Structures are given as C-alpha cells and as structure tokens.
C-alpha cells in the first residue's frame, strides 16, 4: 500500500512514464516476486485453487518445492534486451546487487550474487550458478 498522499501506479503507467520522460533506452525495468503463491489460507492469501497461481508446480509459499520458490522475472531494457525473449535460467534476489553494481560500474566488494548483465544482454545463456541457496 502506498504511503499516505502517494498514488499507486500500475506497471503500464510506470512504463508509459519512463517512455514519456525519454529515458526508455537508459532504463532497466525489472518486475519480480519474492516467492511462490499463497498457501490457500483465504484469510491471509488469495485462493490459489481458484487462481491456479502456481500452475503445474508442487508447493506453495514457504515450501522448498518449485511452486514455493519459482516466480516470474520480467525485464525490459529497450535496445539491449531482445523483445519477447524467454529464458529458463534460474536467478535469485541476491544476484541483483551484483547486477546493479556492474551496471553502474561499481561492483559490490562482497556478494554471493552473480550479475544478470551477460544474461540480459544476450552475451551468455547461463549464469553458471553452482547452486542456489537462501
């Protein structure tokens, strides 16, 4: 929920704003979630049986099965990321700091993450994680 006095905007409105400011080609936009869909407790979460938010994946939020941890990541960077490109490469939140650091040419001194930049730019098909953990 936005802070009092602030107006929430949709993803489409955000993309339109970036475009209207003329900064689309210099802006990496990333949408991602933190974990799988709710566990069906309608009091706390939406009804996953109705929305089928985990699709064919086993498990729910807080499970270590794929349905508990697999979420979409959508990235747009005009002129850099090929429109419509799909990758099945697993990434993690802790990769984002390495990614941001590489983009601003100031990589973090210590991080467990791996930069997404080679994957986003099409210079690599994999990040070659030895393992993912959290």
Residue 43 has pLDDT above 60, yes or no: no
Contact 57, 71 (CB under 8 A): no
Residue 73 has pLDDT above 70, yes or no: yes
Q: Which of 61-75, 77-91, 110-124 has the lowest mean pLDDT?
A: 61-75
In 47-91, at which residue ranges do the beta strands (DSSP E only) sit? Answer: 73-76
Q: Which of 13-17, 48-52, 58-62, 124-128 has the lowest mean pLDDT?
A: 48-52
pLDDT for position 4: 61
Contact 2, 8 (CB under 8 A): yes
Q: What stretch of H or E contains 17?
A: helix 11-20
For residues 43-61, average pLDDT: 70
Q: Which of 15-24, 42-51, 62-71, 96-105 has the lowest mean pLDDT?
A: 42-51
pLDDT for position 1: 47
């Amino acid at each position: 929920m936005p802070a009092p006095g602030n107006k929430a905007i949709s993803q489409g409105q955000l993309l339109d704003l970036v475009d209207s400011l003329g900064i689309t080609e210099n802006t990496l936009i990333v949408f991602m979630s933190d974990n799988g869909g709710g566990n069906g407790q309608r009091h706390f979460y939406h009804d996953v049986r109705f929305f089928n938010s985990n699709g064919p994946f086993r498990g729910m939020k807080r499970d270590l099965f794929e349905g508990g941890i697999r979420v979409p990541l959508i990235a747009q960077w005009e002129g850099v990321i090929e429109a419509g490109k799909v990758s099945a490469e697993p990434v993690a939140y802790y990769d984002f700091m390495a990614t941001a650091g590489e983009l601003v040419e100031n990589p973090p001194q210590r991080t467990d993450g791996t930069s997404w930049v080679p994957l986003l730019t099409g210079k690599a098909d994999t990040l070659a994680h030895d393992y993912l953990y959290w």
